[in-house]
């Protein structure tokens, strides 16, 4: 049974915190596409007003997450060298690792998305889920302080991650530059290099939003080409996010869990 996206009490229970300022949690779940649509509606009604989204909260949440994980690793593994600590931290805060707690919390069901993002399956996109999780961490920090945010990170991010590392006996390095990672992955599969295309540029000069598409050609073995889109407030950020979506899909193909893309009039397959 899916949660009611308008009832945040179930999410608060899963987070282990009842918000004094519920607006913080609401903002953490608000994607930029929803905020820009709301601003357009306000402007059309004669009452132009900025609408808050979760991008700045994502920035803060990423910093809080990094600090908490760094401090915990420093205290727990005094025998580790700096390089080993950095490697382990990178694994624990990587998108691949954060996706699991984001899905466990069913954050996708609570996201506030614009109509275009909703139609393109935004509720299941890796980038949106991970960004929202980091924004929720910021909301916890702003509403109740570092201790509450730390308990959440320990319970849903740190402990499961360390248990996984211990079980696998490995601290796999994360992917940081997804454009480079995607280029290496498509080269390994025999495909031509990916292309990045500007799909849309919207918003005022001081709040531009860019939509970039990463296009991956077909492989010699018959695997079809595909494309993935993502947004960002700079072209470079949007390219990195689109590359991450494409890279994640290629990894799912390698694991045998990716669904083959359906035919379209263009040489690229539908977007996620």
Question: Measured between alpha carbons, how far is 260 from 100 in angstroms, rounded to an integer?
Answer: 23
Same domain, 101 and 224: no
What is the per-residue pLDDT for 49? Answer: 63
Q: 102 and 197: one domain? A: no
Q: Is 138 exposed, middle or buried (0-12, 13-18, 19+ CB in 10 A)?
A: buried
Pair 34, 145 in one domain = yes
- Examine residue 264 and state whether it is found in any structural domain, yes or no: no
Domain for residue 67, yes or no?
yes
> Per the domain annotation, does 29 fall within a domain?
yes
Domain boundary among 168, 201, 230: 168
Please report the pLDDT score of residue 35 as a whole number: 87
Name the one residue in this structure whose structure tokens are 């530059």: 177
164 in the same domain as 183: no
Give dist(CA 249, CA 272) in Å, integer: 9
Same domain, residue pair 212 and 90: no
160 and 182 belong to one structural domain: no
Q: What angle do CA 109, 113, 116 make, to 5 degrees?
A: 125
Whether residues 163 and 194 share a domain: the answer is no
Q: How far apart are CA 212 and CA 100, in angstroms?
A: 26
Contact 216, 250 (CB under 8 A): yes
Same domain, 49 and 147: yes
Same domain, 90 and 151: yes
Residues 76 and 193 in one domain: no
User: 32 with 120, same domain?
Assistant: yes
Contact criterion met (CB below 8 Å) for 206 and 196? no
Residue 213 C-alpha from the chain's centroid: 16
Residue count (the chain): 272
Residue with structure tokens 């993935």?
A: 228
Q: How many of the other CB atoms lie within 10 Å of CB of 174?
A: 16
Say whether both 60 and 185 belong to one domain. Answer: no
In sequence order, which residues have a C-beta less than 8 Å from that of residue 6 and are 6 or more positions away?
none
Buried b (16+ CB within 10 A) or exposed e, 5-28: eeebeebeebbebebeeeebbbbb
In a domain, 268, yes or no: no
pLDDT in tens, the chain (272 residues): 455 556 899 999 999 999 999 999 999 999 999 888 887 876 665 666 677 899 999 999 999 999 999 999 999 888 777 877 888 898 899 988 999 999 999 999 999 999 988 998 989 999 999 999 999 999 999 999 999 999 999 999 999 988 877 655 444 444 446 788 888 889 888 899 999 999 999 988 888 899 999 999 998 888 889 999 999 888 888 998 899 899 888 878 776 644 444 333 233 333 33
Residue 41: Cβ within 10 Å count: 11
Structure tokens, 10: 């179930």
Which two tokens mark 269? 């397959």
Q: CATH no. for residue 221?
A: 3.30.160.20
How many domains are contained in the chain?
2
pLDDT score for 45: 59
What is the residue range of 140's domain? Answer: 9-168
Residue 210, beta-bridge partner list: 201, 232
Query: Which residues carry out catalysis?
Result: 62, 134
Q: Is residue 33 part of a domain?
A: yes
Last residue of a domain, one of 141, 168, 195: 168
Domain CATH code at residue 99: 1.10.1520.10
Write out the two tokens for 231: 């947004």
Residue 19 lies in a domain: yes
Compute the distance between CA of residue 270 and CA of residue 261 in angstroms, rounded to an integer: 7
């Amino acid at each position: 049974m899916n949660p009611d996206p308008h009832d945040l009490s179930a999410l608060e229970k899963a987070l282990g915190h009842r918000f004094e300022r519920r607006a913080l949690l609401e903002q953490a779940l608000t994607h930029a596409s929803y905020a820009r649509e709301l601003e357009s509606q306000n402007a059309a009604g004669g009452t132009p007003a900025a609408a808050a989204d979760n991008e700045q909260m994502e920035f803060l949440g990423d910093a809080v997450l990094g600090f908490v994980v760094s401090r915990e690793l420093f205290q727990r593994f005094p025998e580790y060298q700096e390089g080993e600590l950095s490697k382990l931290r990178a694994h624990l805060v990587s998108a691949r690792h954060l996706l699991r707690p984001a899905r466990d919390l069913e954050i996708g069901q609570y996201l506030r998305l614009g109509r275009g993002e909703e139609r393109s399956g935004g509720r299941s996109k890796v980038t949106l889920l991970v960004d929202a999780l980091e924004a929720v961490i910021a909301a916890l920090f702003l509403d109740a302080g570092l201790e509450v945010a730390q308990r959440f990170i320990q319970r849903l991010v740190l402990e499961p991650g360390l248990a996984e590392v211990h079980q696998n006996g490995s601290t796999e390095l994360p992917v940081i530059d997804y454009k480079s990672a995607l280029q290496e992955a498509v080269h390994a599969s025999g495909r031509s290099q990916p292309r990045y295309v500007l799909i849309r540029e919207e918003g005022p000069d001081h709040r531009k939003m860019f939509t970039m598409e990463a296009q991956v050609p077909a492989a010699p073995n018959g695997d079809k080409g595909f494309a993935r889109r993502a947004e960002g407030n700079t072209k470079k950020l949007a390219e990195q996010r689109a590359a991450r979506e494409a890279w994640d899909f290629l990894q799912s193909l390698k694991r045998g869990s990716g669904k083959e893309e359906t035919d379209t009039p263009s040489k690229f397959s539908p977007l996620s």
